[in-house]
A and B are shown apart, each in its own frame.
Chain A
Amino acid sequence: GNSVTQMEGPVTLSEEAFLTINCTYTATGYPSLFWYVQYPGEGLQLLLKATKADDKGSNKGFEATYRKETTSFHLEKGSVQVSDSAVYFCALSVMEYGNKLVFGAGTILRVKS
C-alpha cells in the first residue's frame, strides 16, 4: 500500500540550529512528494514539493530532495528561527490512488530563542 513514516517529535532546537526531519515512504506507483506546515490553530500550507527522482523542492530556506533509491524525502533547513515552530507533515500522492494525498503523522518542531 501507500504510506509515509516521519520521525517522531517533538523536535526541540535552539535558534539558528540545523534542522532535519526524516521522512520515508512506500508507494504502489511513482509518487509525488510534499511537505506541508501547520501553524497552531490553522490549516496546512504547502511548503515544498518534488514530482520525480532527484528533484529538490525548496521554499523559505527549507529543502528536500526526492531520493528514489532510499525512498526518502527528508526536510532540512540550515538555520531555524522561532517562527518556524509548527507541525510538519510529509505526504505523497500517486496516480493509481486517484492523486489523493497520504500523510505522515506529523512532526512537532519547537525552536527556542
Chain B
Amino acid sequence: DGGITQSPKYLFRKEGQNVTLSCEQNLNHDAMYWYRQDPGQGLRLIYYSQIVNDFQKGDIAEGYSVSREKKESFPLTVTSAQKNPTAFYLCASSMAGFYGYTFGSGTRLTVV
C-alpha cells in the first residue's frame, strides 16, 4: 500500500545535539512538506520541496535544515540553533494540483 512513513515515532535528544527525522513516501508525489505542531496549536510550515534537489523555507525555517536528493525522501534536521525544538513534527506529500496532502503519522521530538 502507498503512503508516507515517518520514523521514529518518538525521539529523545539532549539539548545542543542535532537530530534528523526521516520521511519517506511511495506515492510518487512530487511535493513534500514539513510541519511543526505544538500542543493546542495549528500547523506551521517549516520547509517544503516541489521537486527533487529544490526546496524553500516556510514560515518557521530558522534552526532547521532539509535535503531532497530523491523524490521519495525528505529528511528534516533539527539543529542546535532551534531554540525550542520539542514538538510534534508532521511530514506530508502531494500531487500537483488541488488534491490536498497525504500526511505521515508524525514524530514526537522531546529535547531534554
Contacts and interface: CB of A to CB of B under 8 A. Distances in A.
Chain A partners chain B: yes
Interface of A: 32, 34, 36, 41-46, 49, 51, 89, 91, 93, 95, 98-101, 103-106
| Overall SS of chain B's interface | strand
| Most B CB within 10 A of own CB, among A41, A43, A49 | A43
Interface of B: 4, 6, 31, 33, 41-43, 45, 48, 50, 90, 92, 94, 96-98, 100-106, 108
Contacts, number: 54
Given A41-B106, A43-B4, A43-B106, 20 more contacts: A32-B98, A32-B100, A34-B100, A36-B100, A43-B6, A43-B103, A44-B43, A44-B103, A46-B100, A46-B101, A46-B102, A89-B43, A91-B100, A98-B50, A99-B94, A99-B97, A99-B98, A103-B43, A105-B41, A106-B41
